[in-house]
Structure formats: structure tokens, C-alpha cells
Amino acid sequence: MPIPIRDTFPTDRDDLIVQVTDDGSLTLVKTTDNDAFHSGCGALAETDHVYCKGSGVADRLARRQHTRVLEVGLGTAMGMLLTVDAAIASGTSLEYVAIETDWISGSTLQYLRPRDWVAKTDLVDAYMDFRKTLPDVVPGGTYRWCVDSQRLVTIEVADVRQWSLSAEGQFDAIYYDPFCPESAPDLWTPSSMKAMRGLIAADGKLATYSCSRTVRNALEQSGWGVARVPGPIGGKREVIVATPV
């Protein structure tokens, strides 16, 4: 079945355009190589299904279990905002760490209408205010957004391969969401997956949208048990949830 032609429009960056995905939510696409930040079948549906629910985070938060999440590839911050929104709704404490090399500015993010993503819209306003305190191009380093007394977001502007060597503590879930193996092959190797294996709690889960044989092999070779599970309705047929073995 051919890929449908989806509406696009420009942003304030020449290298990024907005794409309207099939569930009505918006994502970004790189004009240099056509890499999309989310599935064209539905950015919001994919993020909620693959990461928030697939990783077990949604269930943990609903049970009011303190949760630590690592996201590799902050992207548009959709996954982070959905997770923080759910933590606030359930009254659950949350530590969220995201790794990114190109942290999208507030002016670019506005094109995606992020207030449509969450129930607590003032959360997005607070995040935008925080992001606007920093330059559009953020230097490498550690940046902390204290959402409230129970929820802390840390954004590391860094190469995850170097960052993981100095990371401390274990995470209950990993949202593994860099660009695809063809575009960013160094982030999908057994070595990269072994680094993630060292960061996950014994009962934690790694969730990712990619279900390719290359990715499954890299996970299995580095100490993960791999399960192919149904993808979001209308989207990819299967995605991956991995657990430490």
C-alpha cells in the first residue's frame, strides 16, 4: 500500500517542516533526509502506545509508584510531556531524564500545537517558559526543569554514547527513540544496547518503535529479552518491548 501524501507546512527552521499525521497530531520532518520525528500514521497515538503504555510507565503511574524514565531522543518533547502530564494526574512522583543533541526551541515547538497533547495545558506553558530561558541552540550540558516538588525533568544535551558511561542509577523504563537505524546506525548497535542494559532496573522495560531484525539482534546480543508486540491502531504492525535477562 503506497504511503499517503500528508499535508506539510514550514517552520522557523529551514531544515524542519511540520507534518500532519493521520490522528491529527503534528510532528516534524527533517528536510535534509526526510526523517520524521514520529510515525506519519499518528504521532500522538504512537507516543502513547509505544512508550507511555508499552514501557509499563502508564501502569506504574496509575499505581502511584515512583518512576524513573530515560528517554533517548527527546525530539519534540511529546513523550516527556505526556509522561509528566500522567504523573501529575495520578499524583505520582517522577524523575525524567532525556538525552538530545538538537533540543527543539520553543519557537519551533509552537508550530506543533503541543497544548493539544495533554490534559493539563498549563504544563506545556510552563515547559515553554523554561525552554525560552535558554538559547535556541543549547550548548552541551545538563539542564533541569523542576516541574513541581514531586516531578523533575533533566535534559542532557549530549551524545548518549558518552553520557551513558557516566550515568548513575537505574531506570524503570527506557524510551528508546533516536532516528532510525539507517540514519543513526551507531545508536542501534549491540554496544549501544549493552549500555542501555546497564541502566535498566531488574523489572524495567525498554520500548522502541523499531522492530527490524538488526535491532532485535542487537538487543538479544546485549542481554535483553525481546518481545514483538502489536503496534498502535492504524500504525506499525509490531513494535518492541525488551526486558533485561
Q: What angle do CA 178, 180, 183 make, to 5 degrees?
A: 100
Kindly tell me if the per-residue pLDDT of 165 is higher than 80. no
Residues 6+ apart with CB under 8 A from 238: 211, 228, 229, 230, 231
Which pLDDT does position 29 carry in this prediction?
Answer: 98
Q: Which domains does the chain have, with CATH numbers?
A: 41-244 (3.40.50.150)
Q: What local confidence, expressed as pLDDT, does residue 167 receive? A: 79
Which residues lie across from 95 on neighbouring strands? 68, 152
Residue 115 host element (H or E): none
The residue-averaged pLDDT of 113-124 equals: 98
CB 219 within 8 Å of CB 192? no
**pLDDT-derived band of residue 233, with 50, 70 and 90 as boundaries?**
confident
The mean pLDDT of 68-85, rounded to a whole number, is: 98
Q: Which residues pair with 240 in a beta bridge?
A: 208, 228
Q: Where does the pLDDT of residue 111 fall: very low under 50, low under 70, confident under 90, or very high at 90 and above?
A: very high
Instruction: Give the phi and the psi of residue 214 in degrees, each rounded to 5.
Output: -60, -45
- pTM for the structure as a whole: 0.96
Supply the pLDDT for residue 168: 80
* Percent share of the chain, pLDDT over 90: 92
Tell whether the model's pLDDT for residue 224 goes beyond 60: yes
Average pLDDT over residues 30-42: 95
- Is the confidence at residue 3, as pLDDT, over 90? no
pLDDT over 70 for what percent of the chain? 99
Q: Which three cell numbers stand for residue 77?
A: 518533547
**Average pLDDT score, the chain:** 96
Closest CA to 158 of 221, 84, 72: 72
186, 176 contact by CB (below 8 A): no
- What pLDDT sits at residue 8? 97
Q: For residue 1, is pLDDT > 70?
A: no
Alpha-carbon distance 220 to 90, whole Å?
Answer: 34
7-21, 73-87, 162-176, 222-236: segment of lowest average pLDDT: 162-176
CB 66 within 8 A of CB 91: no
Backbone angles phi, psi at 134, to 5 degrees: -110, 160
Give the span between the Cα atoms of 35 and 102, in whole angstroms.
14
Chain centroid offset of residue 9 CA: 23
- Whether the CB-CB separation of 22 and 42 falls below 8 Å is answered with yes
Average pLDDT over residues 82-106: 98
Confidence (pLDDT) at 2: 65
Kindly report the backbone phi and psi dihedral angles of residue 145, in degrees, each rounded to the nearest multiple of 5, phi listed first: -115, 110
Q: Over the stretch 185-223, which tens digit does the pLDDT of each residue have?
A: 999 999 999 999 999 999 999 999 999 999 999 999 999
Buried b (16+ CB within 10 A) or exposed e, 129-166: ebbeebeeebeeeebebebeeebbbebbbbebeebbee
Report the distance separating Cα 216 and Cα 242, nearest Å: 9
